[in-house]
Chains A and B, each alone.
Chain A
Amino acid sequence: MQKHLLTIIIFLGLTTAILADTIKATVNGMVCGFCATGIERTFRTQPEVKAVDVDLENKLVTIHTREGQTIDDSKIKKLLGNAGYSVTGIVRKKS
């Protein structure tokens, strides 16, 4: 029984470690191509970011991290703040 439990814990730990994050940040102030391109460039230079997508219509910046890596909320807010925008919400999903 203990052996099984240990196996499950190790498996869950490894799975979590290799999962990537999909983070959706809702952002105020994004209205044009200059905004979107600037935001994309900002996140693409971050080592933990695999891909980024900007959706002007829904005011969303979607960040996909590399497997086993993440980017925390405070860093996302700081990067978007430095780019000139305000974050109103962040939703995360492991994938």
Chain B
Amino acid sequence: MIMQENDETGYTLSLDYTFTPVTALGFYIKQEENGKEILMLTPEFNTLLKRWNLPNGQGNIFNMTGAGLAHYQGNNQPCLWTAFLADYESRRWFFSYEPRFVWDGDIEKSFWQRARIGIAPYLANYKDLNTWLMLQVDHHPAKHDHFVATPLIRFFYKTYLFEVGYSSNQHIMVNWQIQF
């Protein structure tokens, strides 16, 4: 899977290979914005900790963890980040919550959290274009803007995902994801 996120927190590129049904290994690059402009480069290890298969939906808890290098104003530091993502998705509703802990050596230690709610205005089968209307709320005390809300629209077709939004601190969000 390849994923790129461009939002008010920065620019992220992530490339993962799923080598067992519950684990994936990949590479993560993030250029932070809206605060200290830290560049992070880490391998990442993703684990599906728990899945609930329900008649009309699916719930998951994932852990994503990376350890590598952080670069800021000529200073290189070891860095470590870990995030837990809990989500519930039906064909109509989407909810997620993600707390994230980031340690960038002596550059910065930060915590941020993200929640999303979404609704599909129509129910489409998977060979059709799926559309979601979503609201994302971020709380990141280390950034200039502590609370940011981003209404967005998600398009989903087979294994292609594309999102575009506009945040309350006036940044355009463009995310995309392709699953191979």
Which residues of A are at the interface with B, using a C-beta cutoff of 8 A? 27-38, 54-57, 59, 82-86, 88
Other contacts beyond A31-B91, A33-B130, A57-B91: 19, CB < 8 A: A28-B54, A29-B51, A31-B89, A31-B90, A32-B126, A33-B156, A33-B157, A33-B159, A34-B159, A34-B179, A37-B159, A56-B91, A56-B125, A57-B123, A57-B125, A83-B21, A84-B21, A84-B53, A88-B55
Going nearest first, the 8 A-B pairs with the smallest beta carbon separation are A29-B53, A36-B126, A86-B53, A33-B126, A28-B53, A29-B58, A33-B158, A82-B21
Instruction: Point out the residue from B51, B126, B130 that lies within 8 Å of A37, measured CB to CB.
Output: B126
Chain B contacts of A27 at CB under 8 A?
A: 53
- A31-B90, A82-B21 known; A59-B55 Cβ under 8 A: yes
Name the interface residues of B43-59: CB closer than 8 Å to any CB of A.
Answer: 48, 51-55, 57-58
Majority DSSP secondary structure for residues of A touching B: mixed
Chain B contacts of A29 at CB under 8 A?
A: 51-54, 57-58
Complex Cα spacing A37 to B178, Å:
12
* B22 smallest CB distance to A (angstroms): 8
* B180 smallest CB distance to A (angstroms): 10
The interface on chain B, measured as residues whose beta carbon lies within 8 A of the other chain's beta carbons, has a size of 22
Complex Cα spacing A28 to B53, Å:
5
Complex Cα spacing A57 to B150, Å:
30
Complex Cα spacing A40 to B89, Å:
20
Chain A contacts of B126 at CB under 8 A?
A: 32-33, 35-37, 54, 56
Complex Cα spacing A88 to B54, Å:
10
Chain B contacts of A84 at CB under 8 A?
A: 21-22, 48, 51, 53
Chain A contacts of B54 at CB under 8 A?
A: 28-29
Chain B contacts of A34 at CB under 8 A?
A: 159, 179
* A25 smallest CB distance to B (angstroms): 13
* B118 smallest CB distance to A (angstroms): 12
Binary interface profile of B, 107-127, with partner A (CB < 8 Å = 1, else 0)?
Answer: 000000000000000010110
Complex Cα spacing A11 to B66, Å:
63
Chain A contacts of B90 at CB under 8 A?
A: 31
* A80 smallest CB distance to B (angstroms): 10
Chain B contacts of A55 at CB under 8 A?
A: 125
Complex Cα spacing A82 to B53, Å:
13
Binary interface profile of B, 14-32, with partner A (CB < 8 Å = 1, else 0)?
Answer: 0000000110000000000
Chain B contacts of A36 at CB under 8 A?
A: 126, 158
